[in-house]
Structure 1
């Protein structure tokens, strides 16, 4: 059995890494270390998990016996509209990992956007004939990711997470695709926010001293 990786899978891996870099919620979770000191490594693990799930379930064209050793397998282009994981599979996986590894409950709708973008990427890479060269398509994603890394992402946390655009920067409205809003600051629910105890005042107006709670 050949150990070579399909060129489609390689491009999909690059595109997946770029899409995760374009995901503001994940970027914030990593920068704020919601997953602890290993947050960056957890992001890499998330990417590899997504890529492995697609690669292991993809449908490949059989390699002829006469092919040279090390010939790369080809993903069947007829499966462009039938990706290895559907939208719900991807969304469930992302929800689970963000909750388990980053203790983050995302209510900004971005998980659905990431799932849609990953499926669109897979379809575009396998589309025949391709309207855009797959390499060019992936490089465009990587270029957007590089720009976001330069400008950075700012978060507004807490409160409800209705993404009606009221809290987003009104000056930057350059979304070209139907997927994630790269420039918008997501409204997230930070992990384990603790309420502070309010001071207790007696009838004479004196503030009572409360015993500290054990941690």
Structure 2
């Protein structure tokens, strides 16, 4: 009996790691070294930390999971996740944990398989602001924005990841009037 429980725990750990590896916010943080020179090691550690968090806290609410993941992203990767993915990943992890608690290894394997099929490669590239085009390159007070694109990582499914659309050059330049005195950038909705 203990062997079956250990097998389900291994499946739960693999599912957690798959979900985190497929999370675009974490991919971008690791790819751009937001966690320092050891970003990749921190991402690997994060999987074990999340798994242990669930094991130590049997009846977590969704908000608690979101808070935990958000705190880890902030402290370990200096990243505030504001793309709406935090509740989605938290819900996915909570569902995995419920399968783990029921001993449903088949459901965990299925979730892991689906995540791996849908996994996208996310890249972020810096955008030039209008202010940067007029200022010398060594200006340390410039604002840097990132454009995020997702591409299918060779998965067997079609159109899982939204393909980047060619963009108008005007949308890739942040106007100088959108950068306020304290260095923050005002983000406006597209019309």
Relative to the length of structure 2, the TM-score reads: 0.59
2:71 to 96, 117, 122: 96
Counting only pairs closer than 5 Å after superposition, residues 22-171 of structure 1 correspond to structure 2 as 22-58=22-58, 84-126=59-101, 133-134=106-107, 136-141=109-114, 143-144=116-117, 148=120, 152-155=121-124
Distance 1:10 1:29, change over 3 A: same
Deviations 1:50-104 (A, max 9, x none): 101122334xxxxxxxxxxxxxxxxxxxxxxxxx322111100111111111111
Count of residue pairs the alignment pairs up: 142
Structure 2 gap segments, 5+ residues each? 130-147, 165-181, 184-191
CA distance in 1, matches of 2:72, 2:80: 10
- The secondary structure found in structure 2 opposite 1:104 is coil
Q: CA deviation at 1:122?
A: 2.2
Relative to the length of structure 1, the TM-score reads: 0.53
Task: For CA contacts below 8 A with separation 6 or more, give which structure has more relative contact order.
Answer: 1
- The secondary structure found in structure 2 opposite 1:155 is strand
Instruction: Tell me which structure has the larger Cα radius of gyration.
Output: 1
Judging by fraction of residues, say which structure has more helix: 2
